[in-house]
Structure 1
């Protein structure tokens, strides 16, 4: 199918080609032609088509599309920056953050999305390394020295008249890598050049025009930011809360009649710990880390086959999408590459690995990042980007991630992937969450250490853990050390900070 035919078919299926008032449709298309497909253009096309539709609901109230456009345009006019300047955003999910993010893009400056979990020294490194001209921050986060800062609640960024003309150069959003240790790198995100990137996602994840979408993940995270992009393109009603709480998430979804939830996998784990309550969800889309153990099946058994898992990275955007049917047919799969995306597993000789054989995963699509802001390079081969994982493809073209390339250990001459043991232990009914890492070993070179968090009231011994692995895996996969913890250290996006785990 040609690219144009695919886009038209997908837009029709998802309600984006439904008839509207002719003058509004003309204004909608004109806005995209003038402003492009970035945040500023997508907001303007949505406002031209549905100015009175509720665009955003947070804990302070709601904004229509016309109001969101007015506020972001005024902020853009008041920003003391020039196109290409970098503006840091250190905010929790809120209308103020969205207004600021779109305002920065409207001005042609580059928004830098900052993880709210960074330490003071890391934040100072970001200010320096990204050469921030301005920082917009919530009051709860003190501004570091060396940058002009504006609190979101101060009202200092307001103007009598808003920006009405597009910048000479569209802003480029910069997403910071996780930064679990040291200073995170800035990855420059490309601006979509048309409808195809959106359609590649909504072809596999059935999000429709006008959907009510709760983004539970933090907007500084690549997946939640993508959710914001999709929400504006779909003229959706976006529902935000400053902090994630599993019980409040279920309440928010029910109260605001949300049919879609954008989250990260650890949030699903916490939701599954809550008592069941009926919700209007028809799509739950997660990304950001692997779905541990049998979480996908357990979640769908409770809430229905509504779970979609996008596998990708800050640098590659997406590699594959697993639908409910994929995860039912092949538990543990990361799904299939969507339209316009290629995934290959390359062996040590640089050639595609045979079906079912583990190799380094490389990805190609039109939304690969434009590079790191510090000039560092990511390996590419024949236009495909190394994603940092190793995995394999099955005969149906489904992708399986076997682990991080730098996590693999060699124990007694055997290659061992900690993720395989993590998933095995996560299926134990007594285990709430688990992390497995490699540790140095005098006899075998390296062995595994398992860090286990038990469910309340559950009991499990070190020998129980080792015996379970021994029954299901080879001897070199059996953890040398088993450490029981009250919780795993995680960053603000839910990723386990493995370097922060105690030494066994």
Structure 2
């Protein structure tokens, strides 16, 4: 990425404003010595703005950047002295969004250990498998998961929230921590919507490039106040934390997402920005609108597709503040859609940011014309380093396969049609469930919808639509089919229309297709 673009973007976002020379020097020295990991970002923020509030928890706990760094360093020293954690070890983190999770991630990186971010929705059996596959030395967990961790192998040290505080309080004084001989990695577990979660090794940024790619297109500024509603164990929530620390922002956290409490917090803390997943926006739209619009300038979402009509409805209520980032654990980001894109084409994933390459390729790895569907390949500075199992994803000319199918229109906007393995062939015709989902979601009676492919003895596969309606609403299955038939081809009409109370989702809001397929044995 070219230096003039980096400097111009950092200046525009307030990161190059003058400061006290000694603090600016300490800030730059922290980045030089500790790099751009979360530990390095926290150190540079504490060096430049030690007294600025770093984290506000929903229980009222408030920590400055210096306090957060001090607690993280004490925890790191205790993990090393008391539990023998060394560079290269792995620490599992089964936590919701609160300052203790941040301290544990930073402590791991201060020691050169890998932080394994564990999905809070995993069962006890899945958790035991993850602990074994990832060779965890320690698992830090919230008290609410105490029963779930009982099945862990005895060699895994378990640290609950009380133990976390005891480790910090009991840290022995010692020399300042030195940069480890290896960078601690962040290992994110894939969502596991279609099978067992896999550990994906996330790279450490090597400069300002990744940050600049994001804040050039999403107008976040130094010292903003940011509510992170997306789970931090998810790639998007973790990215939000990285960006916030780089900006020396104040981070507001709630352990669980509650739409009414979130709206209240946005106003109470005068939040400039919120990071969320799309289903959270749906829930926010279901509660009565506040008397005064929250002072948001940015609502950044990622993690799943925006359902039909949600983007414009949300902006009609909260202003043109919505930014939709399309990416994955493996490729980080691929494209970003801003308010103008979403007004013009509400289902678009936007355009690649600066420094990102995106190509739509056919089965023979040849670029396809505009408007034609193909496989989405992406290249940027933050492609993952492979799965912890030793496998990786298909690549072509430095670009990584996202596993999704999509197309680019004549204006250069990307549209994602869905996972390649979600596309079905019904009676010889290719059908994308996402197109049908988007259409059905526009029905005013529908709260949420998922469309999947199921086996069919005559056509090979057929579509099944699962609908959860708003309270008090009713729909007839044939009316749904007739509605789809009016707008789409006959092979896109779901032959099965199933009404459910709610859709099964994982902790990041993605619908669990495997749970829906159980209706068919």
**TM-score calculated relative to the size of structure 1:** 0.98
Matched, 1:252 2:270: no
- Shift of residue 398, structure 1, vs aligned partner: 1.1
Query: Which secondary structure state, in structure 2, belongs to the residue aligned with residue 104 of structure 1?
Result: helix
**Which has the larger displacement, 192-201 or 453-462?**
453-462
Structure 1: segments with no counterpart, 5+ residues = none
Match of 1:395 in 2: 410
Match of 1:365 in 2: 380
Contact 1:212 1:257 in 2 (8 A): yes
Match of 1:224 in 2: 237
Query: Which secondary structure state, in structure 2, belongs to the residue aligned with residue 33 of structure 1?
Result: helix
- What are the within-5 Å matches in structure 2 for residues 449-468 of structure 1? 449-468=464-483
Contact 2:194 2:513 in 1 (8 A): no
Matched, 1:69 2:85: no
- What are the within-5 Å matches in structure 2 for residues 325-340 of structure 1? 325-340=340-355
The correspondence for 1:149, drawn from 140, 150, 158, is: 158
Match of 2:275 in 1: 262
Match of 2:390 in 1: 375
Matched, 1:180 2:187: no
Match of 2:369 in 1: 354
Match of 1:111 in 2: 115
Query: Which secondary structure state, in structure 2, belongs to the residue aligned with residue 326 of structure 1?
Result: helix
Could you tell me how far apart the structure 2 residues matched to 1:440 and 1:482 are?
A: 15
Could you tell me how far apart the structure 2 residues matched to 1:51 and 1:168 are?
A: 27
Match of 1:129 in 2: 133
Matched, 1:166 2:218: no
Query: Which secondary structure state, in structure 1, belongs to the residue aligned with residue 328 of structure 2?
Result: coil
Contact 1:89 1:111 in 2 (8 A): yes
Matched, 1:302 2:317: yes
- Shift of residue 156, structure 1, vs aligned partner: 3.5
Query: Which secondary structure state, in structure 1, belongs to the residue aligned with residue 349 of structure 2?
Result: coil
- Shift of residue 349, structure 1, vs aligned partner: 2.3
Contact 1:107 1:167 in 2 (8 A): yes
Contact 1:37 1:192 in 2 (8 A): yes
- Shift of residue 33, structure 1, vs aligned partner: 0.5
Per-residue CA shift, 1:451-494, capped at 9, x if unaligned?
00111121210011000000000000000100000100011111
Match of 2:86 in 1: 82
The correspondence for 2:96, drawn from 92, 97, 100, is: 92
- Shift of residue 441, structure 1, vs aligned partner: 1.2
Query: Which secondary structure state, in structure 2, belongs to the residue aligned with residue 436 of structure 1?
Result: strand
Query: Which secondary structure state, in structure 2, belongs to the residue aligned with residue 140 of structure 1?
Result: helix
Match of 2:250 in 1: 237
Per-residue CA shift, 1:82-113, capped at 9, x if unaligned?
11101000011111111111111111100000
RMSD: 1.0
The correspondence for 1:207, drawn from 208, 213, 220, is: 220
Query: Which secondary structure state, in structure 2, belongs to the residue aligned with residue 52 of structure 1?
Result: coil
Structure 2: segments with no counterpart, 5+ residues = none
Query: Which secondary structure state, in structure 2, belongs to the residue aligned with residue 132 of structure 1?
Result: coil
Contact 1:150 1:157 in 2 (8 A): no
- Shift of residue 181, structure 1, vs aligned partner: 5.4
Matched, 1:139 2:150: no
Query: Which secondary structure state, in structure 1, belongs to the residue aligned with residue 91 of structure 2?
Result: strand
Work out the number of aligned pairs and report it. Answer: 503
- Shift of residue 184, structure 1, vs aligned partner: 1.0
Could you tell me how far apart the structure 1 residues matched to 2:331 and 2:20 are?
A: 38
Could you tell me how far apart the structure 2 residues matched to 1:89 and 1:315 are?
A: 20
Matched, 1:404 2:419: yes
Query: Which secondary structure state, in structure 2, belongs to the residue aligned with residue 249 of structure 1?
Result: helix
Query: Which secondary structure state, in structure 2, belongs to the residue aligned with residue 235 of structure 1?
Result: coil
- Per residue, is there more helix in 1 or in 2? 2
